[in-house]
Amino acid sequence: MKYGVIARPIAGAIHAIMLTLKNPLEILAAIGLALGGLFGLIGTLTDRPNVQALLWSIDSCALVMACALLALKFHKAGSDIVAGGFLVFSIGEGVLLSGTASGPAGSIPSFGAGIALWATALLLISAPRHFPVWVRGVGIVAAILFLITAIRIFWGDPVLPVASPLPFFAYPFLVITFVGWILALLRENPG
């Protein structure tokens, strides 16, 4: 009961904010991308397994939500390849989430499958000329780096999600891609 007292005002405030926005879907997607990028990077940099699992689960849930909303947005706009890319990214993120509680070593199979889907999604989203060239270019670089990592895992190399140089140095390219998507969404929804 006490959570309802706290949750109702928060839900009301969020609802009021959403009513004032031109397109709340884009704002929610931008928030999800930002939370996903932030919590994902912080989770990668921590060395405490339980904190890492919690941060990565928040990251995954935010990205699944954001990418599902973006899939709807781009499908409605007639950009089906981009929409399909966001759908595939959402599925890949769900696969990653399934292994998060297992810790880095236990999550290797789901990590390999998830980043293979990320790579596919990034290529689908970056191929059409919807986003600026620099965003598409960074997305393609991230896709290639994650694809190399996935191939190594499928070949039998037990690559941890925090291994360096890959996938560790692929994450900044992914987060920069998220920033590009966020900027594009906010330009479409100035207020």
pLDDT of residue 1: 44
Predicted TM-score (pTM) of this structure: 0.87
Q: Is the pLDDT of residue 15 over 90?
A: no
Residue at token pair 């590009």: 180
The answer to whether 117 and 95 are in contact (CB under 8 A) is: yes
Confidence of residue 22 (pLDDT cuts 50, 70, 90): low
Instruction: Tell me the per-residue pLDDT of 117-163, one tens digit each, with 9 for 90 and over.
Output: 999 999 999 999 999 999 999 999 999 999 999 999 999 999 999 99
Q: What is the DSSP letter of 17?
A: H
Q: Residue length, the chain?
A: 191
Going 2 to 7 to 9 to 10, the CA torsion angle's sign is positive
DSSP string, 66-82: HHHHHHHHHHHTT-HHH
Average pLDDT, the chain: 90
CA distance linking residue 145 with residue 147, whole number of Å: 5
The answer to whether 114 and 96 are in contact (CB under 8 A) is: yes
Q: What is the mean pLDDT of residues 6-14?
A: 56
CA distance linking residue 94 with residue 98, whole number of Å: 6
- Interacting residues of 184 by C-beta distance below 8 A, sequence separation 6+: 131, 132, 135
Q: What is the DSSP letter of 156?
A: T
Confidence of residue 24 (pLDDT cuts 50, 70, 90): confident
